[in-house]
Amino acid sequence: MTPRIEDRPQMSVEEFEELERHAPETVSLEFVNGKVVVKPVPDGNHSEIVAWLQRLCMQHRPELWLHAERGLQTERYRKGRAKPDGVLVPVGSFKGHGEWSVTDSALMAVEVTSYDSDAGRRDRVEKPDGYAAADIPVYLLIDRDDCSVTVFTDPQGGRYRQQVNRPFGATVKLPDPVNITLDTEPLKELVD
């Protein structure tokens, strides 16, 4: 069966990587489901949320580091390219890597929603599928639109089989292999 036009990638992964290398610093490009996606530059509260999570990870799991905006090869057969707001790995995991790392050492991917029209589809649907297909054990979505935290786990067949959603202010358990409990009360102060 011939793929439908909307299912065909806009370009090859190699063409995307070349385009991304020449993009201005004011934009961040990703290649999600065969389409080029322009990721907005984070606002101050977005950056503060990532910094809050970095501090917590460092306090509770000093042998790990939450890298911000690290390029990952995602989706089936590593045909996607994503720059999650955070990716949690053992310290030193990206040593010697180029711009786009395989996800073998990734324990968790993190996205914080931005205030743009594509955030819902990108962060709530496309990113979980790409991270699950790349076998990242935990995907943490910090959703500023509905003031909630969603933890996706148990990746199988390109989908996360488990999903737990809690409002900002709740205690949220990030299961193994992350094994950190978050008090999300501070997130209430970081919503625009």
pLDDT at residue number 114: 80
Q: Which domain holds residue 41?
A: 5-93+102-190
Structure confidence at residue 192 as a pLDDT band (50, 70, 90):
low
Question: Regarding predicted confidence, which is higher, 143 or 27?
Answer: 143
Confirm whether pTM is higher than 0.75.
yes
The model's pLDDT over 150-187, given as tens digits with 9 standing for 90+, comes to 999 999 999 999 999 999 999 999 999 999 999 999 99
By the 8 A CB rule, do 134 and 74 touch? yes
Q: 181: domain CATH number? A: 3.90.1570.10
- What's the structural domain count of the chain? 1
